[in-house]
Chains A and B, each alone.
Chain A
């Protein structure tokens, strides 16, 4: 049967130092955790030197590995650290992997993370718990790197939970403020709901894989299994014209007559021919051994409880590789396994037709409770994503998360952590694309969130709240992208968003930093009504905020957001995989128009017009450590979009954009999502023009209403005329209140019911058992007291009484004894006489 399996196998390049990337932030966190207070007392700069140094080191290692990755065969760096546990089929390694997707994410995280650390050194300089802040920040980066570099679900989940923890710690950083502490708790609890989905999805998937893949289908089998597979070339990227002919050539070369073993890292691999001795050919995961053609037995000696596995292999003109069959937590082996193809022979007896099936088709046909297993698993994962990435219905924690320090909002709640859900969907593209239902759900939720959150941003006065709703909305766009099957576009928007939203948040931080000189309480210093005219006093910040606004509102043609957002809208419009593409397109288009309105509103309210006298006197530009970072990020927000400017590359240069080429392997190569081969260019340009027109209209509207704070009377009139709408939007559709009234109160009510249940049912049962035990023991006690003890005491008492009676015999008078002796002799003599 082994000869019938074939498929593309991920080749790996060993990268034994990959773990250094997350190690440095961890070390930084540990140093600041244990010595931070002392370091800070000596000199505050010590603390941020440690933290920024750790980040810079991590960034450098990441860049080194990224360069390695560009030249690596198979574009997959693999660093095995240790085997965590191996139980039955469950093989979990603490291992890191860097492919094109996680490489890009790593660069974003460490790069932007370093910038934000530098910015924080300025922003937080007056903070007494300076060391604690940097400790948490480094710990966060460590967890985030675990999340993206984790080679399997488990390491990813460690990171997933770790970033949740750090998010909680940093939102509640000023924990003496009750509101902030509860905001942290809210984020944590809401994310728990998502985590439940993630774990459920993982369990469903694991359970579904727990069987034997044979040509006939699926049977249960719980033993760990490997199989030899004929390796095929990786799918190549479809060409976009004559220059794209040689795309993917690097993946096509398969080495003949070699055996590749990358499964079960740390296992010794032996090859046995006929009756010969097993020959040791190396240790996984770097076995690449040339062999003579013919039939061989491959033995894999796995340390631990799994023991020795074996399989037959035919070494032929193609490369042979081993794959794990059955449950696996590793993304790589899961993907290898699912994209395997089984050749089915035509069966004359049953009339079954011959052909080739991909194993994931078999899995896709598996159903539980009438729903496709894959759909269910993907929806579970997506629930996890809605929690982490703040989508409907679990988005409510993100606006509250603005209680944290602003650099935290920029790093965690805009640039990196909240994109974890998008990353996960893209990472599992080979799974998600199998289930159009799940894809449609992802797109729909993304589209609805994008529009919903954008409208909520309309009438917020807190500058950070505007950006928070904007983040929720932009995350919705990313999910539209990954949901419609254009995974690379979702990741593209993730990247551009990381640039411009980090920039915008840090600008708002700079503004708040300045406004603190005027208003000392937090609410007023973040209230845009108190701002206005800041352009005059903070020119650098204003410039950067303007560039960020241009980027997010998708001003053509330079801005990063323009390329990524329009590509998302184009892809969802044309997607052939999901249901109702144009509907989601319209929602997304409206959301984009709304984005333009609220972002320009925030710009005009904050920066335009004449500053008031107090602002003029007291507010100054932020220190260089902050503005330089802003300028770098602003520049990235503008030029960062060029590497994915799809229409330019497709229609003018006739190649795929560099980013699409780069991300093709991990996201698109095994995706089943399809898009039309040739779409009319007029349609694409028309839609683009439409979105530009809408965005421009929104901009003009915002300008007429808010520019220079020129006509407050008109604003007040409009507000009065639409008071109902205004109130609903300002209060965010009362979603928090609805949750409070339904779920939170429901849980509280349930708590009372459960308390009663506990009190009467559980306690009743427990108390009943107690009473029963008490009664039974009383009976046993009585038996013991009167029966057993009576016997024992009776013996003792009897002996005592007898002794008391017999004591009188011993008088101490010798004569008495002699009487006894004589009497006894006399009796014996008499008896003898009688007997005779």
Chain B
């Protein structure tokens, strides 16, 4: 079956590459954005990169569906995380009229 695949047959490496790129973008977003919403977007990218990795490994290496199940969980988790985090940001904004995280360091020890 292996030799019948086309040359540009999409394999594990492709997925991983895309996931790595996604992760890199996400990380970059988290590291550079001053805006809390922007940072949450970066976090979403990182989570989705991880989800993609799970699915890819599950498909190509694991054989069964654990990876997919994990990914479903990650999606749900990311959704709820986004909901809670956005709520926090919203409240933050109401109190301080500001969502630039550099200026919101009151919780530091």
Contact = CB atoms under 8 A, between A and B. Distances in A.
Interface of A: 807, 810-815, 818-819, 822
A825 B106 CA distance: 27
Given A814-B30, A814-B101, A815-B30, 17 more contacts: A810-B109, A811-B105, A811-B108, A812-B104, A812-B106, A812-B107, A812-B108, A813-B101, A813-B102, A813-B105, A814-B39, A815-B31, A815-B101, A815-B102, A818-B27, A818-B30, A822-B31
A813 B108 CA distance: 8
A288 B106 CA distance: 104
B107 A819 contact: no
10 contacts: A807-B109, A813-B101, A813-B102, A814-B39, A814-B101, A815-B30, A815-B101, A818-B30, A818-B31, A822-B31
Contacts of B106: 812
Contacts of A814: 30, 39, 101
Interface of B: 27, 30-32, 39, 101-102, 104-109
A812 B105 CA distance: 5
Contacts of B31: 815, 818-819, 822
Nearest to A819: B31
A810 B101 contact: no
A818 B39 CA distance: 11
A807 B30 CA distance: 24
A614 B74 CA distance: 138
Nearest to A825: B27
Nearest to B34: A815
Interface centre among A810, A811, A815 (most CB of B within 10 A): A815
Contacts of B107: 812
A237 to B, nearest CB: 113
B81 to A, nearest CB: 15
B41 to A, nearest CB: 14
Nearest to B39: A814
B22 to A, nearest CB: 16
A807 B27 CA distance: 26
Contacts of A818: 27, 30-31
Interface pairs A-B: 7 shortest CB-CB: A812-B105, A812-B108, A810-B108, A818-B31, A810-B109, A818-B30, A813-B102
Contacts of B101: 813-815
B85 to A, nearest CB: 12
Nearest to B36: A814
Contacts of A810: 108-109
Contacts of A807: 109
B82 to A, nearest CB: 16
A817 to B, nearest CB: 10
Contacts of B102: 813, 815
A822 B27 contact: yes
Contacts of B27: 818, 822
A414 to B, nearest CB: 100
Q: Which of A810, A814, A819 has the most CB of B within 10 A?
A: A814
A815 B107 CA distance: 15
A710 B27 CA distance: 148
A470 B107 CA distance: 110
Contacts of B39: 814
A813 B107 CA distance: 10
A822 B31 CA distance: 10
A810 B109 CA distance: 7
Contacts of B109: 807, 810
Nearest to B32: A815
A568 to B, nearest CB: 110
A248 B12 CA distance: 140
A810 B106 CA distance: 11
A621 B105 CA distance: 118
Nearest to B108: A812
B31 to A, nearest CB: 5
A812 B104 CA distance: 8
A811 B109 CA distance: 8
B25 to A, nearest CB: 14
Nearest to B102: A813
Nearest to B33: A815
B46 to A, nearest CB: 11
A822 B30 CA distance: 11
Nearest to B107: A812
Nearest to B27: A822
A809 to B, nearest CB: 10
Contacts of B108: 810-812
B27 to A, nearest CB: 7
B30 to A, nearest CB: 6
Contacts of A819: 31
Nearest to A815: B31
A750 to B, nearest CB: 80
B54 to A, nearest CB: 19
A656 B54 CA distance: 139
A818 B46 CA distance: 13
A398 to B, nearest CB: 96
Contacts of B104: 812
B24 to A, nearest CB: 11
B72 to A, nearest CB: 26
A808 to B, nearest CB: 11
A815 B31 CA distance: 5
A605 B19 CA distance: 147
A812 B102 CA distance: 8
B12 to A, nearest CB: 21
A818 B101 CA distance: 13
A819 B32 CA distance: 10
Contacts of A811: 105, 108
B105 to A, nearest CB: 3
A819 to B, nearest CB: 7
A822 B108 CA distance: 20
A811 B107 CA distance: 10
B43 to A, nearest CB: 10
